[in-house]
A and B are shown apart, each in its own frame.
Chain A
Amino acid sequence: MSQLHFFADPQWIIPNVIAPFIFTAVALMFFQNVSGSLALYAVLGGGMMGMWGNTLYGAGFALGFDRWNGTLEYVLATPSRLVWIVAGRSASSAVLGLVNAIAILCIAVFGYRAELGIANPVLFLLALVLTLASLSSLGVLFSSSFLLTRSASVMTNGLEMPIYVASGSMFPIALLPFWSHPFSWSLGPTWGIEAMRYAAYGDLDLGFWIDILVVFASTIIYLAIGFWLFGIVERKVRRDATLVEY
């Protein structure tokens, strides 16, 4: 339903398709004489950005919209726990983001003649699925705070770019200042995108499996914290009567 509403409003195309496409196109133009790993890096980064942009929409902007639209009270008044509704929206948005990633891949291959070889498609797919789960769980984690504020859409915008940068979607985190690395390492998608690159390059040593383990563990941790926070936040909005403020 949320997705139907999403597609009925054409403005979703700008942050979720056009922006990641432009970033990818610029990166590919930089690397147009470079084949293989760097081109793949740009394409994966662009796809990742599309998926995160969509996830943030599903988890955050949709909640802000529900509040503004007066549907949040009705949704909360149903016996379905809001955290499951948000988790569903997050997951479906992340999967829809995959469509963006595939579109970017096609444009890179057919438009820019980028040579993208994936050495181990099965493990690449495993890393991709886990990264999608990680993005969704990160959406659930953040969305509890979206329920507390009337400015969910502002927070959504504010969370978009930091995750692009810190997860290494735009450029390698090695280029970031050292003090920011702990934040990057705390993000499951950072490990997920690294695992996808390992699988694509065929570097399937211990590093790949550590990445897989971390992305899986961080997903569980994000979900656990997200569910716990939602319980607290739902009680708080019932106590403080902030649900109808918009």
Chain B
Amino acid sequence: MPEKPEKAIVARDLRRIYRSSKGVFRKKHEIVEAVKGISFEVEFGELFGLLGPNGAGKTTTIKMLTTLLTPTSGAAKVLGFDVAKDVIDIRRRIGIIFGGERGLYYRVSGRENLRYFADLYGVPVSKRDKRITDLLDLVGLSDRADTKVEGYSRGMKQRLHIAKGLINDPDVIFMDEPTIGLDPEAARETRAMIKGLVEKGKTILLTTHYMFEADELCSRIAVISNGKIVALDSPSELKKFVKDITVIEVEAFGLANTDLDVLRRQADVTNVSAELEGERQIVRIQTPRGSEFIPTVTKLLSRAKIVDIRTKEPTLEDAYLKLVA
């Protein structure tokens, strides 16, 4: 390792362009700039979050930092090693945990999966089996360790992913949406596990879609939108972006997109987001006018059946929505 670096991760003006082509005779070339010159630093022992919508460039950033993609320009160092040149040195010292169903050998057991990756990471045979047993205990898979992975639930597969990402006892762990698709209990267990890793001194770079997760886990968050970092601070500081704003939350049935468009066109509305919970719609309206704006909202949404309307303190999600809007 080079002299003990000051930061665990350093990214400087990191860019990544994807080039693709379509057609055989008349090829059409397409260029997409997924990451547009981002810079940030992660301290040792920090849990740093990358937050952003789909296609913002989070996964591309992680893939550059984990040496799976070469940056088009800019530079990045992990534990003092250059991601473009010191590929093997970085791979030895990092762990990668991507979310999802893929990335495991289904026809063999969880223990065999871990054994294979332990060998690929060069874990000494004398330590290998004990480490696998410890990791299976940590992720709560000991009793199913010798069952074929194809029989695992989604949560169990995700826990095996986590064990796999820790098999080389990495100093820095990259997690790409580690709780995606998990039920609430499994997601809570995973978050507890992540907190435990930070307590053990691991550095973690995490991407997530879940605001409360980022709020609960991360000491600092970089909000990334359209390939650029639009804000970088602690969750509490990020919330200050919306300190002058009140959130009016409306629960309703029968809202149309046109109703939301009408709200968005109001001069006193800074952001409108909507989500569907069963047949019920929940609309969050950001406004600087506070509760005095409620009658206007009620009037504008008069075609829908409003079940409840209330004001709320802005959350990290509101800050995020303002930042990426």
Contact = CB atoms under 8 A, between A and B. Distances in A.
Given A5-B105, A8-B107, A76 B68 contact: yes
B67 A69 contact: no
B112 A74 contact: no
A69 B120 contact: no
A1 B68 contact: no
B123 to A, nearest CB: 11
A244 to B, nearest CB: 9
A246 B181 CA distance: 22
Interface in A139-183: none
A85 B70 contact: no
A80 interface: yes
Given A78-B91, A238-B69, A5 B103 contact: no
A78 B105 contact: no
B263 interface: no
Given A77-B66, A79-B91, A1 B108 contact: yes
A78 B108 contact: no
Interface string B63-98: 100111110000000000000000010011000101
Contact of B88 (A71, A79, A85, A235): A79
A50 to B, nearest CB: 22
B121 A78 contact: yes
Contact of A243 (B18, B68, B102, B120): B68
Q: Tell me whether chain A's interface is mostly helix, strand or loop, or mixed.
A: helix
B210 interface: no
Interface string B99-121: 01011111110001001110111
Interface in A67-104: 69-71, 73-81, 85
Contacts of B98: 73
A238 B66 CA distance: 11
Which of A1, A78, A81 neighbours the largest number of chain B CB atoms within 10 Å of its CB?
Answer: A78
A9 interface: yes
A243 B164 CA distance: 20
Contacts of A241: 18, 63, 69
A80 B167 CA distance: 14
Contacts of B108: 1, 4-5, 8
A75 B102 contact: no
Which of B103, B108, B119, B148 neighbours the largest number of chain A CB atoms within 10 Å of its CB?
Answer: B103
B73 to A, nearest CB: 12
Interface in A1-57: 1, 4-5, 8-9
A235 B115 CA distance: 27
Given A5-B108, A241-B18, A70 B122 contact: no
Given A9-B107, A69-B103, A74 B117 contact: yes
Nearest to A4: B108
Interface in B8-33: 18-19
A1 B112 contact: yes
B70 A74 contact: no
A77 B170 CA distance: 13
Nearest to A82: B120
Contacts of B19: 240
A241 B62 CA distance: 13
A5 B96 CA distance: 23
Nearest to A72: B103
30 contacts: A1-B112, A1-B115, A5-B108, A8-B148, A9-B107, A69-B103, A70-B100, A70-B104, A71-B105, A73-B98, A74-B117, A74-B164, A76-B68, A77-B68, A77-B91, A77-B96, A78-B117, A78-B120, A78-B121, A79-B88, A79-B92, A79-B120, A79-B122, A80-B121, A81-B88, A238-B67, A238-B69, A238-B70, A241-B18, A243-B68
Interface of A: 1, 4-5, 8-9, 69-71, 73-81, 85, 235, 238-241, 243
> 8 closest pairs, A vs B, by CB?
A70-B102, A8-B107, A1-B116, A78-B120, A70-B103, A79-B91, A79-B92, A80-B120
Given A1-B116, A8-B107, A71-B104, 6 more contacts: A8-B148, A75-B120, A241-B18, A241-B63, A241-B69, A243-B68
